Amino acid sequence: MVGLRLPYKALTILCVSKLTDVPKRILIGRALRSDRLGETLLPKRIALPVFASDALSSVAYAPGEVLLVLSVAGVSAYHFSPWIALAVVVVMFTVVASYRQNVHAYPSGGGDYEVATTNLGPKAGLTVASALLVDYVLTVAVSITSGIENLGSAIPFVVEHKVLCAVAVIVLLTLMNLRGVKESGSLFAIPTYVFVAGVFIMIAWGAFRALVLGDTMQAPTADFHIKAEQEGLAGFALVFLLLRAFSSGCAALTGVEAVSNGVPAFRKPKSKNAATTLSMMGVLAITMLVGIIALALVTDVRMAENPAQDLLKGSVPVGPGYVQDPVITQVAEAVFGNGSFLFIVLAAATALVLFLAANTAYNGFPVLGSILAQDRYLPRQLHTRGDRLAFSNGIVLLAGAAALLVVIYGADSTRLIQLYIVGVFVSFTLSQTGMVRHWNRHLRTEKDADKRRHMIRSRAINAFGAFLTGLVLVVVLVTKFTHGAWVALLGMCIFFATMTAIRKHYDRVAEEIAADETPSDETIRPSRVHSIVLVSKLHRPTLRALAYAKLIRSDRLEALSISVDPAETKALKDDWERRGIDIPLKILDSPYREVTRPVIDYVKSLRRESPRDVVSVYIPEYVVGHWYEHLLHNQSALRLKGRLLFTPGVMVTSVPYQLESSEAAKKRARKRAEWNAPGSVRRGPVERRPKEPSSKA
């Protein structure tokens, strides 16, 4: 009757596939079989830089954030920094100890989301998921912009084009992660370990010079003075300033939850390896944080939120041309000497590890997105693994959101970091509260004395963790709300509302298509099938459709033609009678030369006359092989099928007729299929623990 468009679309897809497959294989590698998923699991030496790079790298900017806030009250307020560092250490120890309980109790990879959902209910779980998704996006944005700023102190081009450079780094990290978690982890392990080793060497050598040799080490800003914005703070103002500095220092805790979300990526025994990695991460991060702050005080580092005006050399501001180096860079210069080999190595490793810190989010966000998709809170596409067995759709979504944030905030880490850590402390607090209820439920049924003692100890750890992280959350919200934390809260609300709407949609669709226990219209056999073959001319495609329709043996079969040209209609009738076709031909007049509406009206009239009958419509269609041939054929069949698909009780069948040009297209498609690698999307086996019944207690 008319040309078929679908094969042309398929042909177009194959052409595009050929053009994109080669660069895709170059960038992310060859596709992996699903049964090779176990080969991508991580040993502890690779899991540490993969899942802990965010927490480890935060020591490159967390000490600076503490000093920046304290500088509001002048250099005299710096003597509070050791106490702030001690408070951060207590919180870090508590959180690490609490999450060691999490990874043993919930090793499925659901992390805080699964803990909160199972023990506190779906809304709490969705709140945690929203907080974590926002925090993962911010992790990428903050880490990369911080790395760009560190690199920019040595390469002016990076500072001049920092938005472009930040987006380029996001694209690069995205490609590396699309290659698979094991390969990206191997690439990231070396710079992470170089950074950790460099910081420990700096701390050890600095302590040796200060305590044993008695050397006087001076940071490049040691001779500067700070113009205090608020002199002589006391009482509530001082307390608020210290709390704000503490909340900024808590940036060192971001990334701890990523280990609990990434347990499925560890080699067996998964829980034990994840708990060991958590402990290693906590010890390394705490030691580096304390060591850097101590050396910053010894070397007289000076930092200011507005260095151009508030940093004074003598009594003169340093001016807008001054570039304020991070604390870790100033300490390294004081300990190793400017331009020394160790200084250059540590500076390069610091900039690189800040870029790679985003990898924590690249591994946490896609796994969490996959679990949320499995629970129908996010599109199902996020639950599928790509060619390299990574959750490719989640990786791309994270990259897009982070790049958008970087562009909006101009790759300014000072502005971005104010949005930070709100989400992670929301998840900390709800997760630890959920773990307390988890242990309470198990203690009600457990009789073994040894196991009860273990559960009581674990409950005490999680209860203290819930109290402390809840307290920190309040501090963060109070001190950072007007500085940008409200944006993070808004993002959480948007994620929560979106995921709730998606879940409602999936639930509504599932309810609508669920098979009933009692007979329904879909299960009761129709009383009759009324078949209609659409006819425009009596040619080979029409004859093939008529023969196929007769083979189906319907209760009633007729041919239907729309009369838009009396001469053509008369010719069709004459040819029909001359051939002696034993199928009745029905002609519908269309004075306005429409084809679709008369067919739809006729089909609906049949349905009204016999509601229990099914109407089956056969449409003869051409299959052509060249794109330009579709411009020469009428596309009314596509419009007609589109309308018929929305008509209840109507089945639509296309009867294709292949023209000669389709043979050439078929040969090209066959060659293309033989050449292409089988890059089908796979559904990844995300392990899930059976959900425990929630308790009202």
Count of helix runs (H) and strand runs (E) in the chain: 26, 11
Distance from C-alpha of 384 to C-alpha of 386, rounded to nearest angstrom: 7
Backbone φ and ψ of 156, nearest 5°:
-55, -35
Given pLDDT bands bounded at 50, 70 and 90, which one contains residue 224?
confident
Tokens for 653, please give them.
């069948």
Count Cβ atoms below 10 Å from residue 501 Cβ, excluding itself.
11
Region 529-658: CATH code: 3.40.50
Tell me the three state secondary structure of residue 267: coil
Distance from C-alpha of 221 to C-alpha of 218, rounded to nearest angstrom: 8
CB proximity list for 125: less than 8 A, separation 6 or greater: 113, 114, 116, 117, 118
**pLDDT of amino acid 81:** 87
Question: What is the reported pTM?
Answer: 0.66
**pLDDT of amino acid 522:** 52
Residue 335 amino acid letter: V
**pLDDT of amino acid 525:** 61
**pLDDT of amino acid 519:** 52
Distance from C-alpha of 267 to C-alpha of 143, rounded to nearest angstrom: 27
- Domains of the chain by residue range: 43-71+78-508, 529-658
Given pLDDT bands bounded at 50, 70 and 90, which one contains residue 177?
confident
CA angle 79, 82, 87 (to 5 degrees): 130
Q: Which residue has the tokens 């390069």?
A: 348
Closest CA to 42 of 255, 195, 270: 270
Instruction: Provide, rounded to the nearest whole percent, the portion of the chain with pLDDT above 90.
Output: 7
pLDDT tens across 559-597, in order? Answer: 999 888 888 889 899 989 988 888 999 999 888 778 888
Stretch among 113-122, 163-172, 415-424, 548-557 having the lowest mean pLDDT: 415-424
Q: Which of 324-328, 352-356, 649-653 has the highest mean pLDDT?
A: 649-653
Q: Once rounded to an integer, what is the mean pLDDT over residues 200-227?
A: 87
Given pLDDT bands bounded at 50, 70 and 90, which one contains residue 45?
confident
Stretch among 87-101, 181-195, 508-522 having the lowest mean pLDDT: 508-522
Distance from C-alpha of 670 to C-alpha of 630, rounded to nearest angstrom: 21
Name the strand (E) or helix (H) holding 468. Answer: helix 449-480
CA angle 501, 504, 508 (to 5 degrees): 140
**pLDDT of amino acid 670:** 61
What mean pLDDT value characterizes the chain?
77
Distance from C-alpha of 281 to C-alpha of 100, rounded to nearest angstrom: 12
Q: Which residue has the tokens 């903050």?
A: 142
Instruction: Provide, rounded to the nearest whole percent, the portion of the chain with pLDDT above 70.
Output: 78
Closest CA to 348 of 192, 218, 206: 192
List helix spans (H) across 153-255.
156-160, 162-178, 181-208, 235-249
- CATH: 1.10.569.10, 1.20.1740.10, 3.50.50.60, 3.40.50.1820. Which one for 43-71+78-508? 1.20.1740.10
Alpha carbon dihedral 237, 241, 244, 245, in 10-degree steps, equals -170
Distance from C-alpha of 396 to C-alpha of 382, rounded to nearest angstrom: 10
Q: Once rounded to an integer, what is the mean pLDDT over residues 419-431?
A: 81
Same CATH fold assignment for domains 43-71+78-508 and 529-658: no
CA–CA distances in Å: residue 424 to residues 132, 431, 489, 630: 6, 10, 11, 55
Given pLDDT bands bounded at 50, 70 and 90, which one contains residue 390?
low
pLDDT tens across 318-335, in order? Answer: 777 777 778 888 898 899
**pLDDT of amino acid 626:** 65
Stretch among 51-55, 269-273, 389-393, 637-641 having the lowest mean pLDDT: 389-393
**pLDDT of amino acid 511:** 75
pLDDT tens across 4-17, in order? Answer: 444 444 444 444 44
Stretch among 8-22, 73-87, 351-365, 376-390 having the lowest mean pLDDT: 8-22
